[in-house]
Amino acid sequence: MKFTLSWLKEHLETTASVQEIVDAMTMAGLEVEHVENPAEKLAAFTVARIVSAARHPNADKLQVCQVETKDGLKEIVCGAPNARAGLVTAYAPIGAYVPGLDVTLEARPVRGVVSNGMLCSGAELEVTADADGILELDPSAPVGAPVASVLGVDDAVIDFEVTPNRPDWLGVEGIARDLAAAGVGTFKPRPAVTIKGAFESPLKVATDDASACPVFAARLIRGVKNGPSPEWLQRRLRAIGLRPRNILVDVTNYFCFDRARPLHVYDAAKVSGVVRARLGAPGETLKALDGKTYEIGAEMCVIADDRGVLGLGGVMGGESSGSSEETTDVLLESAYFDPLRTFQTGRATGIQSDAKYRFERGVDTGAVISGLDAATQMILDLCGGEASALILAGEVPAPPKAVTFDPARVKALAGIDVPGAESKRILEALGFAVSGKGAPWTVTPPSWRRDVEGAADLVEEVARIHGFDKLPAAEPPRAAGLRAPPAGAGESRLRLARRALASAGYLEAVTWSFCDRAAAQLFGGGADQLLLANPIAADLDCMRPSAIPNLARAAQRNLDRGHGDVRLFEAGPVYRSDADTGQERVVAGVLQPRPKRHWQGAPETDLFAAKRDLLLALDVMGAPVASLQQGPAPHAWLHPGRSGVVKLGNKAIGWFGELHPRALAALGVDGPVYAFEAMVDAIPAPRAKPTRARPPLERAAFMPVSRDFAFVTDEKVAAADLVRAAYGAEKALIVDVALFDVYRGAGVPEGKKSLAVEVTLQPKDKTLTDAEIDAVAAKIVAAVGKATGGVLRG
Amino acid sequence: MDGKPQSPATADVEALERDLLARLDAAADEAAIEALRVEALGKQGSVSALMKSLGGMSPAERQVMGPRLNGLKDKLGEAIVAKKASLAEAALEARLAAERVDVTLPPQRVRIGAIHPISAVMEEVSAIFGQMGFALEEGPDIETDFHNFTALNFPPRHPARDMHDTFFLQADEKGERKVLRTHTSPVQVRTMLKQKPPIRMVCMGRTFRCDSDATHTPMFHQIEGLVIDETTTMADLKGVLMAFIKAYFEVDSVEVRFRPHHFPFTEPSAEMDVRCDRSVPGQLKIGEGDDWLEILGCGMVHPNVLRHCGLDPERYQGYAFGMGIDRLAMLKYGAPDLRDFFGSDVRWLQHYGFSPYLLPGLAAGLSGGIG
């Protein structure tokens, strides 16, 4: 919302500076975004007088003028047809920036004659739309005077953000009222206007739907002479960025911004029968004032006559019934349109208009008639003619309900001490009626404050105007200590995994929660319920089932920039369904190995690096890594022979593997890429312990002993099965089974392999004898043989 | 020298000694020393033979020659030990010299990754609020319209909802569509619905708005705070937020300003500005200065929100606040462009990321560095 200082002063008696007003607005909740003083923009332009004008020697349409300026007599080339001796106009010296042309002037020859400056049009200075000739200023204006003050455009323009609860701030009058309450000046109540109807209007209005349009008021004004608005009105509209058109249109715009009261004028000669607010009918269309044709929906409130739709109520009028310079009889409409319906009509049509912006926030019901009459008076004043008696359909909605208010609530809720009398003064200054001798009071909001529904709203009014700067700060509480997070172990697990993986050389990434549907489907997601109805981009249209697609593509982007050998991880959400329980935490990593050569040979980054890091993440997050089962990964996005899952019982808590060539191709990523994902929420919760104390450490008194075994097994035997079988052979003694060699070749038959393990035994009560160790060895050989068919390598 | 041993002359002994010591000195290796030892001190050795000849000497001769020969034997023995040690020393020196490597060659480096600034800031923020007795709550990213809007006093189809640029999911068979939460405020609702006051919680997480430009990304992060009891006022809110700003920005003092604002879910509502200094280009100093920096939105929980969550607004009251985690990270750590937070550029991650070894502590301060 933009307004000018002079416009504000119509409603506010004040000597405050622009800065003081801006500060007061900020502290009253009117967030100022921009202040512009056109005088600053026009500072370079001064009044000058043309002494003589002669035809340019080399161009018919140009003149060479001798001009009296603040810098002395200057020779200036000018193409304006109205340049003539004696004309007082605007002069721009060399070096000046001309806003309308977006150029900075340089002294350069124009067809052989050097122009020492420029004489400017209103359009070039952006003060009027007139580009046909140079400005014709008051002949008595002294040479050298600032053009801005001669033109009267030295008026600061303040632009601020209107919060949706305060539609009254969409009128300058509403702004003035809050500023007066805040002590910036005195509010000037507008004089009451009474229109004596000169005749009964033959044109009638009606409203068919009391919820869509509860009241429809109008006056017929006959015999008006439309034309350009007076300069003060044009200047005022132009200053806030509106283009003046003609008196009738300009007056409606003026009231829209002065009192937040949208109005509409119809050319009475172009309407037929009763002008009616009603709901739209299927098949109806409207050619609106913006020149576009809109299809009318059944939920839209339209204004129609006997022949059809004239406009979208509260949104935009139609071309067929619009006023023009030739209009002599007008119907001036002032109505109340339902905010929600207006909002939805705006949404459905995509129309943005100043009227819609106000109606959808709720206009002042108290100004339906008074605004109509004030505007009628202005039209009569500017265009002549005579106005009809009030034409009224429906009823003005009831004013807001009174609120019971104990002034002690200000201190109790906002923490600010405001004396009761001051609270009362503030509320009354804002237009509230306060009654009741003792507490609680009965406070009745004015018709333009439908946002006020309860005591909390009144506390805000009092605190805001009294000043949030008077808000004390209470001593913050101190916890006895950090509390354990009651949200569950999830977040602290992610924290641990982050530290482990970052320590292992991974960079943590944070990627979108969405990806494209094709990638989602590739990774086991992409269900309809997880599709976005309004994605920000076509390739971000689906909630991700895995963090891997985004991470793999991120790795590729880095590779494409010349930064390969990327290790990235993300600790964040994936989405299985749109239910509360459908969101799960994962810790996911990708490795795109492009190792730099090293004189000692580059360390291998392969599938087992991904497996190692998955186990590392699971381990720090509290998963019992030693007792995990392994199995093939059933995931289509993984290389079937180079991937696996790790499980607790039947529950998968992670997978690792090389991405499938098809998945890589679909993602546009160069392989090989190794990846893993740990399902954080599938890790069992740690058992609640009564104390933080740990169980006593048991330290065996005897040296551990170890024995090596090499088994020849079928090629298809899983190493993990052999290791588990060895482990289980003598649980009381075996503490470690380390697989240290996989061998194929001489001495091992075709289709077989040799797996060598070092088994560590930890005696508990006494040193083991050779016979006892041999007995355990025999059990190991038997157990491995039973589980895998493996035999000791001879 | 066959037959009976002759009594040696002193001169002969001296000649033998000179000869033996000279040859020992010249011995090149352990084997040569050993050979010399056997030749001189072995059973058939030259010195041993002379020792044997002592028995045939007259007492007067023995008096002279006995100590002389024993001295020769001891001297030779010591010289042999010393020679062996010196040879071993030389051998070791030679081996070490041969083992020399170019120690300036680069080792295999252990790569250390980095923690994303958003994660690091979340840890800092949760540590600060934890010390003020706040508990950590959480809620889903995919929300119902009720939790994200209606319960928070956004009337259905109200223009205020438009300002949130909401992402919608596909409508279900009943025509209802879930949303991606536009703020972390629905976690307020979830907490109040499951827990009776007193409530003192924060929550942090991903939030989504259908908006993308230099300062907006479709996904960003927020922290939300909520306190509900029977007496908490806006002055308590201000105290907590000032303490937070001081702790987070690691400054001793901070001047803040509450400005009235509007949020549907708080009444009164405010935005909080913090004093800052922008006088040095590219350097933002928080806490003092001539300028204001808008930092968060807050207010007293709207009675309608309490009602929607089953709490009696005549009895309970409290405050809520929310701020952008990403923005906090940008302000404190100077990352200029929000979009980079989600770009996964390894150079950015390495530069703005945090060492996994940094942990808040008394010795390390909040952001865990050294000095």
* Average pLDDT rounded to a whole number, residues B154-176: 80
* Average pLDDT rounded to a whole number, residues B277-297: 88
The Cα A727–Cα A760 span in angstroms is 10
pLDDT tens, residue by residue, A194-208: 998 999 999 999 999
User: In degrees rounded to 5, what are phi and psi of residue B103?
Assistant: -75, -5
Q: Which residue of A has its CA nearest to B208?
A: A513
CA-wise closest residue to A117 among A64, A56, A76: A76
Question: What pLDDT, on the 0 to 100 scale, is given for residue A484?
Answer: 53
| Mutation to test the B interface, candidates A413, A493, A600, most B Cβ within 10 Å | A413
**B-chain residues within 8 Å CB-CB of A550?**
344
Phi-psi region of A374 (alpha: psi -120 to 50; beta: other; left: phi over 0): alpha
The Cα A294–Cα A308 span in angstroms is 13
Question: What pLDDT, on the 0 to 100 scale, is given for residue A482?
Answer: 58
pLDDT at residue A483 greater than cutoff 60: no
Q: How many CB atoms neighbour CB A754 within 10 A? A: 17
Band (pLDDT 50/70/90 cuts) for residue A611 is very high
For A162, what's the count of Cα atoms within 13 Å in the CB-facing half-sphere? Answer: 23
Question: What pLDDT, on the 0 to 100 scale, is given for residue B160?
Answer: 65
Band (pLDDT 50/70/90 cuts) for residue B2 is very low
B244 three-state secondary structure: helix
For all residues of chain B together, what is the average pLDDT? Answer: 90
Angle between helix B10-26 and helix B59-98 axes, rounded to 10 deg: 10
Contacts A–B by Cβ distance under 8 A: 263
Question: What pLDDT, on the 0 to 100 scale, is given for residue B266?
Answer: 96
Question: What pLDDT, on the 0 to 100 scale, is given for residue A108?
Answer: 79
CA-wise closest residue to A455 among B302, B355, B224: B302
Q: Which residue of A has its CA nearest to B105?
A: A599
pLDDT tens, residue by residue, A63-107: 899 999 998 999 999 888 898 999 999 999 999 998 888 889 888
| Ranges A45-54, A89-98, A504-513, most confident | A504-513
Interface of A with B in 536-555 (CB under 8 A): 536, 540, 543, 550-551, 554
For B363, what's the count of Cα atoms within 13 Å in the CB-facing half-sphere? Answer: 3
pLDDT at residue B257 greater than cutoff 60: yes
Band (pLDDT 50/70/90 cuts) for residue B3 is very low
Asked if A43 contacts A211 with a C-beta cutoff of 8 angstroms, the reply is no
Helix (H) or strand (E) holding A230: none
* Average pLDDT rounded to a whole number, residues A17-26: 94
The Cα A423–Cα A464 span in angstroms is 11
Band (pLDDT 50/70/90 cuts) for residue B364 is confident
Tokens of B224: 């939300």
The Cα A79–Cα A56 span in angstroms is 10
Contacts of B196 (CB under 8 A, 6+ apart): none
Question: What pLDDT, on the 0 to 100 scale, is given for residue B8?
Answer: 65
Question: What pLDDT, on the 0 to 100 scale, is given for residue A639?
Answer: 96
CA-wise closest residue to B141 among A582, A222, A367: A582
CA A557 to chain centre: 27
Band (pLDDT 50/70/90 cuts) for residue B163 is low
Percent of the residues in chain A that have a pLDDT greater than 90, as a whole number: 76
pLDDT at residue B176 greater than cutoff 50: yes
Interface of B with A in 10-69 (CB under 8 A): none
Question: What pLDDT, on the 0 to 100 scale, is given for residue B7?
Answer: 60
The Cα B126–Cα B136 span in angstroms is 8
CA-wise closest residue to A216 among A397, A385, A77, A56: A397
Question: What pLDDT, on the 0 to 100 scale, is given for residue B203?
Answer: 95
Please indicate whether, in this complex, the C-beta atoms of A512 and B347 are within 8 angstroms of each other: no
CA A177 to chain centre: 31
Question: What pLDDT, on the 0 to 100 scale, is given for residue B6?
Answer: 55
Q: How many CB atoms neighbour CB A276 within 10 A? A: 20
Contacts of B63 (CB under 8 A, 6+ apart): none
pLDDT at residue B1 greater than cutoff 60: no
Asked if A31 contacts A191 with a C-beta cutoff of 8 angstroms, the reply is no
Question: What pLDDT, on the 0 to 100 scale, is given for residue B47?
Answer: 85
pLDDT at residue A465 greater than cutoff 80: yes
pLDDT at residue A480 greater than cutoff 70: no
Asked if B344 contacts A558 with a C-beta cutoff of 8 angstroms, the reply is yes
Tokens of A276: 């009616």
- Segments of A401-530 assigned E as strands: 403-405, 433-435, 441-444, 507-508, 514-515
pLDDT tens, residue by residue, A510-530: 999 999 999 999 999 999 999
∠ at Cα A713 (A707, A717), nearest 5°?
105
pLDDT tens, residue by residue, B312-323: 999 999 999 999
pLDDT at residue A486 greater than cutoff 60: no
Tokens of A307: 């022949």
Flag whether residue A397 sits within 8 Å of chain B, measured between CB atoms. no
Band (pLDDT 50/70/90 cuts) for residue A641 is very high
* Average pLDDT rounded to a whole number, residues B251-268: 93
Question: What pLDDT, on the 0 to 100 scale, is given for residue A35?
Answer: 93
| Mutation to test the A interface, candidates B103, B176, B207, B233, most A Cβ within 10 Å | B233
What residues pair up with A755 in beta bridges, in sequence order? A711, A742
The Cα A410–Cα A389 span in angstroms is 47
pLDDT at residue B252 greater than cutoff 70: yes
Query: Out of B131, B260, B355, whose CB is closest to A29?
Result: B260
pLDDT at residue A117 greater than cutoff 80: yes
pLDDT at residue B371 greater than cutoff 60: no
ipTM: 0.88
pLDDT at residue A587 greater than cutoff 60: yes
pLDDT at residue A781 greater than cutoff 90: yes
Question: What pLDDT, on the 0 to 100 scale, is given for residue A794?
Answer: 74
CA-wise closest residue to A494 among B126, B46, B245: B126
Question: What pLDDT, on the 0 to 100 scale, is given for residue A416?
Answer: 95
pLDDT at residue A181 greater than cutoff 60: yes
Interface of A with B in 437-476 (CB under 8 A): 454, 456-457, 459-460, 463-464, 468-469, 471-476
Residue type at B151 in one-letter notation: A
**A-chain residues within 8 Å CB-CB of B118?**
510
**What does the DSSP 8-state code read for residue A693?**
P
Query: Out of B163, B317, B349, whose CB is closest to A508?
Result: B349
For all residues of chain A together, what is the average pLDDT? Answer: 92
Asked if A259 contacts A240 with a C-beta cutoff of 8 angstroms, the reply is no
CA-wise closest residue to A220 among A447, A380, A452: A380
Question: What pLDDT, on the 0 to 100 scale, is given for residue A226?
Answer: 93
Percent of the residues in chain B that have a pLDDT greater than 70, as a whole number: 95
Band (pLDDT 50/70/90 cuts) for residue A711 is very high
Q: Which residue of A has its CA nearest to B123?
A: A495
